[in-house]
Chain A
């Protein structure tokens, strides 16, 4: 392990900015967030970064390390520096920059407000009970820490900026947790197809590759939701069979 590395950190705001190099002394087990803290403590106290738990659970310290969205607190420096001993740290590209490594991710909270919460029928007997086999599938989606790395790397939002038409992978996971919940009574397929814009996702799986909680975002959330939308909008034969068999219409 090198004794000293160089951190090229993006400094700037929404108007302008550029990379600035900082030499950083290393220590065993050092993560990129430690290096940022060292710069703040000993070289430049004006460097802005957002962090909280330093345990990969709060989802605050998202950044782009060597061009790939990561949690800074979970990124060991020895995994990133090459022979030149350099690591680049940039802010998330998809969201407007406030300062240095801090982005305005409030768009995500506005999207979250558009998703109706878990809606349980008043006739469902109380106390509410769920069997383990029903819990298992939706439990995975509950691991999300809202770091928004998946939103950042999603090319629909990142390269095409279709924030006007697509909720993004984080909210596909949120809808999946509700849509697949056995006690939820809402039909969320119409919202998925229309304002949710699930059709914009073209399954390139970057969200799944980068998820620090290892949620199978594409395989277990987005694709099953796409298949549910197909049930209602692209499968006339299946629809006919369901009608003939007398399947209960969704509310």
Chain B
């Protein structure tokens, strides 16, 4: 038997060509890198902009800046003077840590950004020159094991964003009197909230916590209830990647809509009751 160590990684194996796959395996990692890259660039710009995130007359608050915090952090910068830190910077810690530790995103960015691996059966371009592979056992990736804590925080945000959806039904008329109404912004916020809820509660950690961690489902009434819940959340979980993509895009659209209405570029079409 040959010994299997990282130093003899090719020992006894067939010397196969590196690029044997003939299909378009590169489309998935490339499309993730492009869409995710655009999202990150847009969110970073909006995060530092610290403006045009609220349309008070339509009850709209950008999901990147929600909730509105009752305090402000200011820093004294050497050349720029007293500057307020954009609240989006510390608000976005929660959704970003949830997404970055999410099991779906892990697959996508390990492939697209770290080439670890690029695609199934495609040789890793730098496998030999890299440091010894440690996966998620050493820093920084071992921190991804705390995904469930990011889930707890993200679940709180679902309730906060749900409150924002309710506020989006409160629309002011021309004289500034609030009415119950539905606008394009309200509909966008509803869709965004539904997609974010589907994504958040389709989480693998939640699926484990709600019932996946149980071995004997038939043993007690509680475990039977957990089995039912586990089955239902497993349905959501089976489309976790789709929920992840759609909710990421919907957050971008919701913020863009608030941004454009706030700037006066487009009107918020609505019906008042």
User: Contact at A66–B20, with CB atoms within 8 Å?
Assistant: yes
CB atoms of A156 and B13 under 8 A apart: no
Given contacts A17-B14, A156-B133, A200-B135, contact A131 B4 (CB under 8 A): no
Q: Name A230's contact: one of B106, B135, B145, B216 (CB within 8 Å).
A: B145
B213 adjacent to A133 (CB under 8 Å): no
Closest chain B CB from A52 CB (angstroms): 21
| Complex-state Cα separation, A227 to B206, whole angstroms | 10
Interface assignment of B83: CB less than 8 Å from any CB of chain A: no
Q: In the complex, are the beta carbons of B2 and A160 less than 8 A apart?
A: no
Q: Are B22 and A66 in touch, CB under 8 angstroms? A: yes
Of residues 159 through 211 on chain A, the ones whose CB sits less than 8 Å from some CB of chain B are: 159-164, 166, 179-182, 184, 197, 199-206, 209-210
**In the complex, how many angstroms separate the beta carbon of B209 from the nearest chain A beta carbon?**
8
Number of A-B contacts (CB under 8 A): 181
Q: In the complex, which of the residues A158, A180, A229, A238 has the most CB atoms of chain B within 10 Å of its own CB atom?
A: A158
Binds A, one of B91-99, B110-118, B172-180, B181-189: B110-118
B134 within 8 A of A: yes
> Do residues A155 and B116 form an inter-chain contact, with CB atoms below 8 A?
yes
Min Cβ gap A191→B in Å is 15
A224 CA to B146 CA in the complex, in Å?
Answer: 14
Q: Of A69, A162, A184, A233, which contacts B133 at CB under 8 A?
A: A162
Contacts of B265 in A (CB 8 A): none
A227 adjacent to B212 (CB under 8 Å): yes
Q: What secondary structure prevails in chain B residues at the interface with A?
A: loop
A54 in the interface (beta carbon within 8 A): no
Q: How far is the CA of A33 from the CA of B136 in the complex (A)?
A: 38
Q: Is A234 an interface residue (CB 8 A)?
A: yes
Given contacts A163-B4, A202-B141, contact A131 B217 (CB under 8 A): yes
Contact status A199-B142, CB under 8 Å: yes
Q: Do B22 and A67 have beta carbons less than 8 Å apart?
A: yes
Instruction: For B148, list chain A residues within 8 Å (CB).
Output: 227, 230, 235, 238
- CB-nearest residue of chain A to B5: A164
B204 close to A64 (CB less than 8 A): no
Distance from A121 Cβ to chain B, minimum over Cβ atoms (Å): 13
Q: How many residues of B contact A (CB 8 A)?
A: 61
Q: Do B110 and A66 touch (CB < 8 A)?
A: no
Of A41-49, A88-96, A112-120, the segment with at least 4 beta carbons within 8 Å of chain B is: A88-96
Assess whether B23 is interfacial by the CB under 8 Å rule: yes
Cβ proximity bits B1-26 to A, threshold 8 Å, 1 near / 0 not? 11011101111111110011111000
B262 at the interface (CB under 8 A from A): no
**A58 in the interface (beta carbon within 8 A):** no
A24: interface (CB < 8 Å): no
- Verify A200–B215 contact, CB threshold 8 A: no
- A103, A131, A155, A224: most-surrounded residue (chain B CB, <10 A): A155
- Chain B stretch 237-258: residues in CB contact (< 8 A) with chain A: 237-238
Q: Are B121 and A96 in contact (CB under 8 A)?
A: no
A82: CB under 8 A from chain B?
yes
Query: 18 more A-B contacts (CB under 8 A) besides A10-B14, A160-B127, A219-B204?
Result: A17-B15, A88-B22, A133-B217, A134-B218, A155-B124, A159-B133, A164-B5, A182-B216, A182-B219, A197-B135, A199-B134, A199-B135, A200-B133, A202-B135, A203-B107, A204-B117, A227-B212, A237-B149
A interface residues (Cβ-Cβ under 8 A, vs B): 10, 12, 14, 16-17, 64, 66-69, 82, 88, 90-91, 93-97, 103-104, 106-107, 131, 133-134, 153, 155-156, 158-164, 166, 179-182, 184, 197, 199-206, 209-210, 218-219, 223-224, 226-231, 233-235, 237-238
